[in-house]
Chain A
Amino acid sequence: EIVMTQSPATLSMSPGERATLSCRASQSVSSNLAWYQQKPGQAPRVLIYGASTRATGIPARFSGSVSGTEFTLTISSLQSEDFAVYYCQQYNNWPLTFGGGTKVEIK
């Protein structure tokens, strides 16, 4: 099973700041990685798939990149609605696995 490790667990940021979230795979998943945003009491919502492709309707301030087995989600300028928990998910191998999440909180 591929283990997805997200860091940091919590990111304390101010609105307008740039946020950088990391997700590391225990082995290669190629570019078969998605990022999700989850707000309290809601289901996750896909932001990025294919490591760097924004899903329909996702603002351009969200971007994804990959270097080897290290994936990055960048939020260029945090808006109030971006404070949430973010998860990565690999879909290169079975079983499909998720990271433990990064909570982006208001500083």
Chain B
Amino acid sequence: QVQLQQSGPGLVKPSQTLSLTCAISGDSVSSNSAAWNWIRQSPSRGLEWLGRTYYRSKWYNDYAVSVKSRITINPDTSKNQFSLQLNSVTPEDTAVYFCARVGYCSSTSCSNWFDPWGQGTLVTVSS
């Protein structure tokens, strides 16, 4: 059974960097049949997919256009986890952040529905 456990601060100052980690158990961040995602949820924007990392003989990343200039998602194979960094945050980045797995991938594509999800982290951007 795959489980995702999130960690990271719940308060970030404006203009600073939001950093969260998602630890994986029951699967591998290096799996060739999975992709590892970050999604956020806020009252104003609803559920918003932010980006993903996945391994297919080498590492790949995809990011949402809305955050592409500010986001980095990195795998950490030594700890079997992946991380989210979002730079230059503003109060509009205040949201609950989730990590989630896509578990049905072939060598060329994925069925991009999410299961499981991490427990969520409320991140507030405020001075």
Contact = CB atoms under 8 A, between A and B. Distances in A.
If over half of B's interface residues share one DSSP class (helix, strand or loop), that class is named, otherwise mixed; here it is loop
Interface string A20-52: 000000000000101010000011111001100
Interface string B57-72: 0000010110000000
B111 A49 contact: yes
Contact of B111 (A91, A98, A101): A91
Interface string A33-76: 01010000011111001100001000000000000000000000
B117 to A, nearest CB: 4
B66 to A, nearest CB: 8
B112 interface: yes
A68 to B, nearest CB: 20
B120 A87 contact: no
Interface SS, A side = loop
A98 B47 contact: yes
B64 A91 contact: no
Interface of B: 46-49, 62, 64-65, 98, 100, 111-120
Interface of A: 32, 34, 36, 42-46, 49-50, 55, 87, 89, 91, 94-101
